[in-house]
A and B are shown apart, each in its own frame.
Chain A
Amino acid sequence: MPHSFFQDTSAVGDRSPIYQFGLLHIGFWTFVSIISFFSLTLWYGPYDWFHILHIFLQAFIGLGFTVFLYWVFMYIWDKPFVHRASIGLLMVLLVAFVWTLARIGLFMWVTEAGSKWSEFGGWHFASVFIFLCWSGLFHGMRYNDLLQTEHRIMLKAEAETREEQIKRMRAQSIARDAQIKMLRYQLNPHFLCNTLNAINSLIEVNESEKAQGMTVQLSRFLRHSLDNNPDTKITLENEVNALNLYLEIEKTRFGDRLSLDFQIEQDAKLATVPSLLLQPIIENSMKHAIAQNESGGTISLYAKVENNRLIMQLSDTGSGSKVAHSKVASTKGRGVGLRNTNDRLKALYEQDFSISIDILPSGGLKTTIELPCEYHNSDNSISNQVRRLSST
C-alpha cells in the first residue's frame, strides 16, 4: 500500500507529519533557495526581482518533486536493498531531469532571457546533486528516527522487565513471609509449652482424666493445623470446632476466668474461611485480655451472612486494669497479629475483604472481618442442601 505523506504518522519515528514536512521539504527548499540566491543570483548579475521570483518558483516545483520522491521512497521502503537503490536512483535522475527542464523553461519565461537550452548540462548536474542531497536527508532522518524509536522500545522493554522482576520478587517474599508466619501460627511454641506444662500439672495432681482429655484436645488441634494449609478454606463450622479445641485447652488453664459467647448463624456455619483465620485473633485476646484481667473475661464470636457477605465479629472484654483510651494503646502488642491477618486476607481475597478494629466501652477490642460469602462445591453447599430438602 502506498504511503500517503500526510496520513502516515508512523513513517518517520513518531514525529508529527507537519514536523517532517517542515524539515524535509520546506526547510530543505528554503536552504536551497538561499544558497542559490547568494551563490548564483548575487554573484552573476545585478539585483533582480525576476531572478528571485525564479528561485521561488523553482523551489516550489522542486518541493512538489520531493513530495513525490518521499511517496516513492516510502513505497519501496520494505523492498530489498538492490531494488530500493536502483528504483531510488532512477527516480532521482528522472525527477532531476524533469525539474531541470522546468526551471530552464521557467527562467527563460520569467527573465525573458534568450535560449538557455545550451546550458542544460550544467543545470542538470546541479539538479541531480540537489535531489541526491534531499535523498540523503530523507534517509538520514528516517534511519535516525527508527534508531531512536528502537532505542526507546528497548529501554521501555528493559524497564518493564525490571519492574516485572521486582514485582515477582516482592510477591515471592510476601508469600514466604506469610508461610513462615503461618507455620508459627500453626504451632505456637508458647502455646505448646503452656499446654504441656498444664498437662504435667494435671498428672501431678492426679487428675489423669483431665490430663488425658487435654492431651487429646492438643493432639486434635495440632492435627487440624497440619491437615489444613494456610491457603485452604474450610467451613466456619470447622474453624469454630478447631477454635473450641484451642479454647478448651486454655479453659483448663484459666478455669472460670475464661468464658465464651459464640453465636453463629446457620448459613454462616457453612460459609468458608481461610483455615485458622480466627485463632491468632483469639490467641491475642487470651494473651492481652483474659490473662491480663484478674477476673478474667469473655471472648465473643458473632457470625452472620448479610448481602452475600460473611461478617464475623470477635471481641473480648479487655484487660480490666487499664481501660484503653486509644486504639494505639488497645492494639499495642496485637499489631503484628492483625497485620498478618490482613496480609493473609489480601493474598487470598485481594481487595474483596475488610478488617477493622474498634474499642468497646469495656476497654475490650472488637475485630470485625468481612469476607465474600463462599461455599464449598460439595454436598455441604447451601444450594445442594436446598435441593436435597426440596426433593424429599
Chain B
Amino acid sequence: MNKLRTVIVDDEPLALKLLRAKLGKLASIEIVGECKNGREAIAATLDLAPDIIFLDIQMPGLNGFDVVKGLQSDI
C-alpha cells in the first residue's frame, strides 16, 4: 500500500513537532516535507507534489489562505 505523501506547515516549532509526532503514529502517512512558513510551503508543494498538506492558517508573512491562493494560481 502506498503511503500518503504529506507536507506539514506551521510557524511554531512546537506545533510542527506535535503534528509530526501525531502523524508519525499513523502507518498510512509519510511526512515528506516540513515547512516553517508560507513561502516554504508553496515551494515544497510544487517541488514534492504531496498528497496531503497540513497547513497552519495563522502564520507570519504568507498565511494559510495566501498559500492556497498562491498554489491555485500556480497550478
Contacts and interface: CB of A to CB of B under 8 A. Distances in A.
Interface of A: 198, 200-202, 204-206, 252-257, 291-294, 319-321
Nearest to A319: B60
Contact of B60 (A204, A206, A255, A292): A292
A321 B66 CA distance: 14
Nearest to B15: A201
Nearest to B40: A294
Contacts of A201: 14-15, 17-18
Contacts of A321: 60-61
Interface string B5-23: 0000001111101101110
A35 B61 CA distance: 99
A274 B68 CA distance: 46
B22 A204 contact: yes
A291 B12 CA distance: 9
Contacts of A292: 60
Contacts of B61: 293-294, 320-321
A256 to B, nearest CB: 8
A207 B32 CA distance: 23
B37 interface: yes
A310 B32 CA distance: 53
B17 A205 contact: yes
A206 B37 CA distance: 25
Nearest to B17: A205
A210 to B, nearest CB: 9
Interface string B26-66: 00000000001101000000000000000000011100000
A256 B36 CA distance: 12
B18 A205 contact: yes
Q: Give the interface SS of chain A, mostly helix, strand, loop or mixed.
A: helix
Nearest to B58: A291
Given A204-B22, A254-B12, A255-B13, 10 more contacts: A198-B14, A201-B14, A201-B15, A204-B21, A206-B21, A253-B12, A254-B13, A293-B61, A294-B36, A320-B61
Contacts of B20: 205
A194 to B, nearest CB: 9
Nearest to A291: B60
A205 B21 contact: yes
Contact of B37 (A202, A294, A319): A294
Given A253-B12, A254-B13, A255-B13, A293 B60 contact: yes
B60 A320 contact: yes
Nearest to A290: B60
26 contacts: A198-B14, A200-B18, A201-B17, A204-B21, A204-B22, A205-B17, A205-B20, A205-B21, A206-B21, A252-B14, A253-B14, A254-B12, A256-B13, A257-B11, A257-B13, A291-B11, A291-B60, A293-B61, A294-B11, A294-B36, A294-B37, A294-B59, A294-B60, A319-B60, A321-B60, A321-B61
A205 B20 CA distance: 9
A252 B11 CA distance: 13
A320 B14 CA distance: 22
Contacts of A205: 17-18, 20-21
Contacts of A254: 12-13
A362 to B, nearest CB: 15
